[in-house]
């Protein structure tokens, strides 16, 4: 899943992708309320706009990003 998410991030200009290993960085789990993995959290201008936990597809993520971008542009 990680390589596919990284590829997806390249499709969006000015996006940044930060994979974080919560086992190596347990403080991140508390800060972002991550209780299970995988978790995908997407921010726009510092505001969380999407959080997907465990079962999600790349097409689902892409569709939701596109819907969000349509609303703001």
pLDDT for the residue 54: 92
Q: What's the mean pLDDT in 1-27?
A: 93
User: With bands split at pLDDT 50, 70 and 90, how would you rate the model's confidence at 1?
Assistant: confident
pLDDT in tens, 36-71: 999 999 999 999 999 999 999 999 999 999 999 999
Question: Which residue in this structure is represented by tokens 């703001």?
Answer: 72
What gap in Å lies between CA 12 and CA 52, rounded to an integer? Answer: 18
**Domain harbouring 24, CATH code:** 3.40.30.10
**Domain assignment of residue 26, given as a range:** 2-72
Q: Is 61:70 a contact under the CB 8 Å cutoff?
A: no
Structural domain count, the chain: 1
């Amino acid at each position: 899943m990680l390589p596919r998410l990284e590829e997806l991030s390249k499709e969006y200009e000015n996006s940044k992708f930060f994979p974080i290993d919560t086992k190596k960085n347990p403080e991140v789990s508390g800060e972002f309320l991550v209780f299970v993995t995988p978790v995908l959290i997407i921010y726009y201008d510092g505001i969380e706009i999407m959080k997907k936990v465990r079962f999600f597809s790349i097409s689902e993520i892409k569709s939701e990003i596109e819907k969000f971008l349509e609303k703001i542009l």
